[in-house]
Amino acid sequence: MKIYSSLDEIERPFNNPALTIGNFDGVHLGHQALFKKVVEIANKRGGDKVALTFHPHPMKVLRPDNPPKLICTLEQKIELIMASGIEHLICLPFTRQFAKTSAREFVEEILYNTIGVQDLVVGYDYACGRGREGDINFLKKMGERLGFNVHVIPPVKIDGIVVSSTVIREFVKAGNMKMVRKMLGRFYQIRGVVKKGRRRGGPVVGFPTANLSINPEDLCPKTGVYAVQVIHGEKLYEGVVNIGVNPTFGNGSLGAEVHIFNFNKEIYGHEIKVNIVERIRDEKRFSGPKELSAQIRRDIEKAKQILSSI
């Protein structure tokens, strides 16, 4: 997949392109339906498969005092869009100046003249341009005038609930990882570089952990203990994670402590990816290492039961 970080990098319109547009936070099942339609149309017409997104998320620019916590990083989003079959990803910088672009200018200058859109695939609630003035009816009229087709994808529902990034964020914050998995079509994932902790997991408690920091700006599942899958390099392991502030030892800072089953490698400074499978219990304070160790054994047994059923 080729990535374009500005319109200047697009030297000429694409070949008969099918295009979809969105923030695509999480690349959930609703987004995947858009990509699937783009691939279907482009394959029939022999055209390019193109997606247009923005970075940073527009709400981080328009509402800097209360921006959304994102389901996935830009790196994750690119990986997931690539896996969907998209060939060209345009990732435009979103600024306050760009936010002033009218819907007409956006369609005429960017979508039509620069990208050369032939088929535009959008969600049922999509709107573009300043103040979201360019709704579906506007896009259809522009398509009729300029000669491109507009395909509107209906909402995707899971258990009667419309799949959206907003809804998924609420489920993540509530620790309902089963619904998150259903709506994403995969497990929710956190990732980071393993840092050196206080070395209490192995020597003191008896269960060594790989420790990850969690940025307060990131979307964090509800504190507690979860069954997880851990990806290190090309290998997948099973484990448990405590997400929280480690109240037993009074650490105080939010983090993730991952105990990986049947794993004894030195991985400080290595990146790991943690698939959050299912919540086991609340985080709680114990009287000391002995009580904590006994609870971790029970958590491990529960996690193994959960993971064996995947």
Q: Considering the domain 187-308, what is its CATH architecture? A: Beta Barrel (2.40)
Question: With contact defined as beta carbons under 8 Å apart, do 231 and 186 qualify?
Answer: no
Output the pTM of the full model: 0.93
CA distances from 46 to 19, 41, 118, 152, 295 (A): 13, 8, 12, 21, 58
| Exposed/middle/buried for residue 304 (C-beta within 10 Å: 0-12, 13-18, 19+) | middle
What local confidence, expressed as pLDDT, does residue 56 receive?
96
Q: Is the pLDDT of residue 28 over 80?
A: yes
User: pLDDT of 151-163, one tens digit each?
Assistant: 999 999 999 999 9
Q: Is the pLDDT of residue 127 over 50?
A: yes
Task: Sheet with 255-260: list strands edge to edge.
Answer: 188-193, 271-281, 224-232, 235-244, 255-260, 210-213
Question: Where would I find the beta strands (DSSP E) of the chain?
Answer: 2-4, 18-21, 49-55, 88-93, 119-123, 149-153, 157-158, 161-162, 188-193, 210-213, 224-232, 235-244, 255-260, 271-281
Of all residues in the chain, what percent carry a pLDDT higher than 70? Answer: 95
**pLDDT mean over 130-145:** 97
User: pLDDT of 61-105, one tens digit each?
Assistant: 999 999 999 999 999 999 999 999 999 999 999 999 999 999 999
Q: Round the average pLDDT of the chain to a whole number and report it.
A: 94
CATH number of the domain located at residue range(s) 2-158 in this protein: 3.40.50.620
Question: With contact defined as beta carbons under 8 Å apart, do 15 and 55 qualify?
Answer: no
Q: Is the pLDDT of residue 49 over 50?
A: yes
Element spanning 308, H or E: helix 289-308
Q: Is the pLDDT of residue 172 over 50?
A: yes
Q: Is the pLDDT of residue 200 over 60?
A: no
Q: Is 114 helix (H, G, I), strand (E, B) or coil?
A: helix
Give 205's DSSP letter: I
The two tokens of residue 77 are 């989003």
Q: Tell me the sheet residues that pair with 151.
A: 121
Q: Tell me the sheet residues that pair with 274.
A: 190, 230
Q: Where are the domains of the chain?
A: 2-158, 187-308
**Of residues 301, 308, 17, 267, the one with CA closest to residue 148:** 17
